[in-house]
Amino acid sequence: MNEGKLLKFIISFLVVLQVLGFLFQNSLLCSASTSLLFISIAFKYILESKKIKPVHILVLFLFFISELMHLITEIGTIKHRMLVRIIGYIMLFYFLYYNHKSFKYNRRDVFTLVLGSLLYTVIFFITYSVVREPMGNLSLIGFLHLLLLYVLLIVGAMHYINIRSEKSLWFFLAILNFSFSDFVLLIDEFYLQSSELKVIRLICQPLALVFLVNYMITKYEYLKSEEFEGF
C-alpha cells in the first residue's frame, strides 16, 4: 500500500470515527478524530503537492479553524464560524480568477447551466426563507454566507463545463459539498436541529476539503471522455 492509498484509508477511518464519536456522544473521540482528520488532510496536501503555496495553506487553515472552533465553547459561536467561512469562500474566488479561461458553450452546455442554476436558485431561496427569521441579527451574515456559496457553485459549474478538466471537476465537487454542508449547518442551527443533519455534515465537510486538496494538487488535463458534457 503506497502513501496515497494509506492516507485515503486513514482519512476514511477518521471520518467514521468522527461520526461514531458524535452518535455515541463521546466528546473525546469526536474531538480527537476531528483534529487528526484535518491534520491528515493537510498532510495529504503537503505530501502530494509538488509546490506548496501559502494561499493554499491559508485557505485550508481557515476551513480547519472554522470546524475546530465549535470544539472550543468560548469562541465557537455560529457567528464566528460563519465569518471565518465567509473569508475562506471569498478567497476561493481567487482560484476561479487565477484559472479563468474564455467561456465557450454549445446549446447543451447552456441548457445544463440554466437548469442547474434554476434548481439551485430555488434551493437557495427556500433555505434562506426558513432560516432568515430564526437567525435574527445574523440574517445579513447568513445571507452573505449562502450567497457566496450560490455564486461559487454556479461559477464553478460554468468553469467545469467550459474547461472539462479534472482540476475544474475537483473544484466543482468541493464547492458542491461545501454548499450542501453549510446549508445543512444553517438549517440545523437555526431551523430544524437533527442528528441526521449533523451526521450528513460530518461526512460532507471532510469530502469538501479532500476535493479541494485534490483541486490544489491536480494539473490541468482535459478529460478525454465525451461523457462529461454536463454536471
pLDDT over threshold 60, residue 225: no
Q: How far apart are CA 171 and CA 96, in angstroms?
A: 9
User: What is the number of domains present in the chain?
Assistant: 1
Containing H/E element for 225?
Answer: none
Please, which pLDDT band fits residue 74 given cuts at 50, 70 and 90?
Answer: low
The answer to whether residue 3 sits within a structural domain is: no
DSSP-based three-state secondary structure for 66? helix
| Least confident stretch, 66-80, 107-121, 217-231 | 217-231
Q: What is the DSSP letter of 72?
A: S
Nearest to 78 by CA among 213, 176, 191: 191
Who's near 93: CB < 8 A, 6+ residues apart? 152
The answer to whether residue 34 sits within a structural domain is: no
Q: How far apart are CA 13 and CA 11, in angstroms?
A: 5
The answer to whether residue 18 sits within a structural domain is: no
The answer to whether residue 85 sits within a structural domain is: yes
| Least confident stretch, 90-99, 109-118, 135-144, 181-190 | 90-99
DSSP-based three-state secondary structure for 165? strand
Q: How far apart are CA 161 and CA 212, in angstroms?
A: 18
The answer to whether residue 170 sits within a structural domain is: yes
Q: Which three cell numbers stand for residue 198?
A: 449533523
pLDDT over threshold 60, residue 227: no
Phi, psi of 110 (to 5 degrees): -60, -45
pLDDT over threshold 90, residue 14: yes
Nearest to 148 by CA among 197, 88, 62: 88
The answer to whether residue 137 sits within a structural domain is: yes
Instruction: Give strand pairing partners of 222.
Output: 165
Q: Which domain does 169 fall in, by range?
A: 61-217
Q: How far apart are CA 228 and CA 27, in angstroms?
A: 42
| Least confident stretch, 65-79, 85-99, 155-169, 216-230 | 216-230
Q: How far apart are CA 211 and CA 169, in angstroms?
A: 9
pLDDT digits 0-9 by tens, 122-170 = 999 999 999 999 999 999 999 999 999 999 999 999 999 888 888 999 9
Instruction: Judge whether 230 and 161 are in contact, CB under 8 Å.
Output: yes
pLDDT at 220: 67
Decide: residue 82, CB within 10 A, 0-12 exposed, 13-18 middle, 19+ buried. buried
Q: Which amino acid is at 3?
A: E
Helices 78-98 + 166-190 axis angle, to 10: 160
Share of the chain above pLDDT 70, in %: 92
Instruction: Judge whether 96 and 156 are in contact, CB under 8 Å.
Output: yes
